[in-house]
Amino acid sequence: LGKEGLVIVGGVAAGLAAAMEARRASPEMPIKVFERTGDISYGACGLPYVVAGLIPSLESLILHTPEYFREQHGIEVRTGCEALELLPSKSVVRVRMHVEKREVGYDALILATGAAALCPPLPGHELEGVFVLRHMRDGRRLLRFIEETRPRTCAVVGAGYIGLEMAEAFRARGLRATLVESSETVMSALGGRARDIVAEEMRAHGVEVIFGERVVGFESNAAGRVARVLTGSGRAFEADLVSIGVGVRPEVALARDAGLEIGESGAILTDERQRTSAPGVYAAGDCCEVLHRVSGRRVWHPLGQPAVRQGWVAGANAASSDVSVEARYAGVVGTTVVKVFGLEAARTGLSLEEARSAGFDAAEVESESASRAGYYPGASKIYTRLVTDRTGRLLGAQMVGREGVAQRVDVYAAALHAGMKVEELERLDLAYAPPFAPTIDPIIRAAHAAMKKS
């Protein structure tokens, strides 16, 4: 690259992964990272555990400071610096650094602008005590509110993985918690028995769980703080604090205004080298879409690990004019795992509904198996649901259990990545010893059940 070097917009997972990879590829190139908030390089995934009190402070989530990047890697990271406009035809980005506006040239640019939490504009959503959780500053506001007002009751809106984690966090703080979800599922695709197991666990830990009901507004108390949540069926319940976890949207304003192509999912369209439709402009992380290897569609899959890996790919390609650089992002299979009190709930690939809407002639089969040898103390049940097509190709897996789920789901993720059939899964030589698995591992048992059905 030339003397302008690489400019990166966004200083969290994807942006800083890209900066470090670009530095590895090019030891001398100027690299600038612009971040509009005051926070960089932190693990947003840890926020619920700070709220729970398990992790002592928000500062524990910070990996590195701007000084670290400057002194150790010669990367200039500017906080409080917002990219306002991107002009790809001039290779310039207009930025505001605190109050001053200026134009910054670049040889290559990476958009790592992430996503923003959705807050539906319901009556009362702007009341004090109603929160979304996405960035460090959200965590700071929420913790300050808890310190200052000592809430006794809370409502969590949305049973996505963040909603589940937040309900648990509030219970750990001693709040009475109600979780309201408008659909009949948790984590957007866990339905039926898997959903029931998760809901039973939450209820056993004191969370009131309401499915199929929509929150329609919030009411305040005399102090102007949120006090009640209203639902579509006319129900009203008390909540001194509300945490909204109904999803996120990609931050694409810069890209869209600059004329970059936006995909059907609403996120920035990139190729496997993370190149956007504008020459010299790359995108990585929660702001862009990815290839779903099972459906073959380009989807939006905003999660931490894909964000870092897309950052590596964008950084390597942006730093090198050598077209033989083989940095490519292989795509996702849609793997997620969440801890819900004493449970591990995970999914990978497509649910039955998703598989059918992607055009597969799909079926599903459920099975239950022990987590350890029957005679070994402490065994519990692992519930599995496999989705396959008529040829026996694995399309998706969902698992819930008290142990052995978070790692096992990765076997399914690897199988999906490789396009394996259930009969191939059933032949795998998996680890066995009584404390860790029954002689026939739950994965083999589930594959066996799916083979018999197909």
Ligand X SMILES: Cc1cc2nc3c(=O)[nH]c(=O)nc-3n(C[C@H](O)[C@H](O)[C@H](O)COP(=O)(O)OP(=O)(O)OC[C@H]3O[C@@H](n4cnc5c(N)ncnc54)[C@H](O)[C@@H]3O)c2cc1C
Q: HEC profile for 21-63?
A: HHHHHCCCCCEEEECCCCCCCECHHHHHHHHHCCCCCHHHHEC
When asked if residue 14 is in the footprint of ligand X (CB under 6 A), the reply is yes
Closest CA to 95 of 116, 75, 109: 109
Least CB distance from residue 146 to ligand X, whole Å?
Answer: 15
Q: Could you say whether residue 388 binds ligand X (CB under 6 A)?
A: no
Tell the smallest beta-carbon distance from residue 2 to ligand X (Å).
23
Q: Which of 8, 20, 31, 44 binds ligand X (CB under 6 A)?
A: 44
Q: According to the binding rule CB under 6 A, does residue 217 interact with ligand X?
A: no
Binding mask 115-144 for ligand X (x = CB under 6 A): x-----------------xxx---------
**Among positions 304, 389, 403, 451, the unique one binding ligand X when judged by CB under 6 A:** 304
Nearest CB to ligand X, comparing residues 49 and 383:
49
For 141: left if phi > 0, alpha if psi spans -120 to 50, otherwise beta; the answer is alpha
55 CB burial (10 A radius; 0-12, 13-18, 19+):
middle
Q: Which residues, in sequence order, are CB contacts of 267 under 8 Å at separation 6+?
A: 250, 252, 286, 287, 288, 289, 300
Q: Are 158 and 40 in contact (CB under 8 A)?
A: no
Q: Is 188 in the site for ligand X (CB under 6 A)?
A: no
Q: Which is nearer to ligand X, 1 or 252 (CB)?
A: 252
- Is 45 a catalytic site residue? yes
Residue 98: CB atoms within 10 A of its CB come to 10
β-strand partners of 238: 228
CA pair distance 338, 409, nearest whole angstrom: 12
In what helix (H) or strand (E) does residue 426 lie, and over which residues does it extend? helix 422-426
Site mask for ligand X (CB under 6 A), range 137-176, x = bound: -------------------------x--------------
Stretch that binds ligand X, among 187-195, 224-232, 273-281, 296-304 (CB under 6 A): 296-304
- Tell which positions 81-120 bind ligand X, by CB under 6 A: 82-83, 112-115
E-only strand ranges, 245-303? 248-250, 281-283, 290-291, 298-299
Establish if 13 lies at the interface with ligand X (CB under 6 A). Answer: yes
Catalytic residues: 45
Footprint on this chain of ligand X (rule: CB under 6 A): 9-15, 34-37, 44-45, 47-48, 82-83, 112-115, 133-135, 162, 251, 254, 285-286, 302-305, 307
